[in-house]
Copies of this chain bind each other. A is one copy, B any other.
Amino acid sequence: MTFAQFSRRESLSPGDICREMLEGHRESIKTKKEHTAVRNLELILAATLAVSNQKGFQAMSMRDLSLASGLSMGALYDYFSSKEELLEMIQATGRRLTRRVLERGIEGIDDPVARLTAAIRTHVYLSEALQAWFFFSYMEARHLGEEEKEKAKQSELYTEGVLSEIIAQGQAAGVFAPLDRHLAAAMIKAMLQDWYLKRWKYAGRRVGVDRYADFVVQMALSFCLSGGGADASGEITL
């Protein structure tokens, strides 16, 4: 699978995402005409990500957002009742989306090597398609209320759990080495996140998304298959 193939398979245009967003927040959005609501959500979303990823969500004022989106301050409050709710809305939609796309990316693939490869590629490609969104979710998660912050952590652990279960499956099949699968999954997750957190670095080096995905797959498989060489046999599997 390449990024181009992934993009064709998944419909992740701003319109698609905002329709999903509207679906999940019907009760709190005052505008009832579907078409208008989706169009304005697109404006709000694009503006929020653009301004926040540059200066931070806290530092983005409602006046900034009004200017960047083209909607008045009054109109903005038809789509959320407070700045905090806007943040939660974006985070919740991202979590649902990630979960769905990741599940679809690995379903029906049983061979551990192929399944781990698919999980990694799907995650890198998804975060490429929604780079601004992923960056935003990562950097602004700490500004959520306690309740929503907990959901963000659970979401991180979910993704990691997907990886760790694939490793367990490979170990049960005797294909992967008996290394600590939770730590291995955490390390793969860290590598996946670097792609959307350090864009400036990879852009400057002209590393593209397919090459990046290849490299992470290679590194993860190398480790899982060999177990880190001679001295891995003593590792705890938990």
Which residue numbers of A lie inside 8 Å of B, CB to CB?
Answer: 54-56, 58-59, 139, 142-143, 153, 156-157, 180, 182-184, 186-187, 189-191, 193-194, 198, 200-202, 205, 207, 212, 215-216, 218-219, 221-223, 225-229, 231-232
Contact = CB atoms under 8 A, between A and B. Distances in A.
A222 B228 contact: yes
A228 B113 CA distance: 13
A157 B198 CA distance: 11
Contacts of A189: 194
25 contacts: A54-B142, A55-B143, A56-B56, A56-B142, A58-B58, A58-B59, A59-B143, A156-B198, A180-B215, A182-B205, A183-B212, A186-B201, A187-B194, A189-B194, A191-B191, A218-B229, A218-B231, A219-B219, A219-B223, A222-B223, A222-B227, A222-B229, A223-B223, A225-B229, A226-B226
B56 A187 contact: no
Given A58-B58, A143-B56, A190-B191, A221 B215 contact: no
Contacts of A142: 54-56, 139
Contacts of A157: 201
Q: Does more than half of chain A's interface fall in helix, strand or loop, or is it mixed?
A: helix
A201 B87 CA distance: 23
Contacts of A184: 219
B219 A187 contact: yes
Given A56-B143, A156-B201, A182-B205, A221 B216 contact: no
Contact of A222 (B198, B202, B222): B222
